[in-house]
Amino acid sequence: MIKASFPKGLPHFKINNKTVAQILNDMADAAVNQIFNDTQAGRDIDGNNFQRLRASTARAKRRKGQTVKPLVATGMMSKVFRSEKASATSLVSEVDVSQHRKEIAEFHIEGEGNLPKRVFFGVGDTLKPKLQKIINLRIEKIVKTMWKKK
């Protein structure tokens, strides 16, 4: 429970854990959508285009009938999900890639050898304003309900 107390005569505000959990879950869902959309569009977490595949890699993917956009050939890197849902008793909402792709995801994010860095997972410039909007809308809704007469 988050509480803000003010001097005598001013209102007291309460935000219960259920509301905070809803905000966290909304933020996690926004992250899932943003990561999926950016990865499908070939962009990193800051909205920059991924470095193109090397010519030899692109040829090999075409022979297999796969797309030449980085990180989308099998669809596994864009299949992120909310792995933990926040609740009133656990204020944690987590976004993840599938367990058997974590090592490969890290390999892509860090880049190694001939593989360039492709930071597709995380909170970057494209997601931050969306998260801020979620927070602002929730706070606005909370404040409006506080001022309603009962």
What is the chain's pLDDT, residue by residue, as a tens digit (150 residues)? 444 555 565 555 667 889 899 999 999 999 999 999 999 999 999 999 999 999 999 999 999 999 888 888 887 888 899 999 999 999 999 999 988 888 888 988 998 888 899 999 999 999 999 999 999 998 888 877 766 655
Q: What pLDDT, on the 0 to 100 scale, is given for residue 137?
A: 92
Q: What pLDDT, on the 0 to 100 scale, is given for residue 128?
A: 95
Cα–Cα distance, 63 to 55 (Å, whole number): 12
Cα–Cα distance, 47 to 45 (Å, whole number): 6
Q: What pLDDT, on the 0 to 100 scale, is given for residue 13?
A: 63
Cα–Cα distance, 84 to 25 (Å, whole number): 9
Q: What pLDDT, on the 0 to 100 scale, is given for residue 1?
A: 45
Residue 142 has, within 13 A of its CA and on its CB side, a CA count of 19
Q: CA nearest 106: which of 120, 91, 86?
A: 120
Q: What pLDDT, on the 0 to 100 scale, is given for residue 124?
A: 94
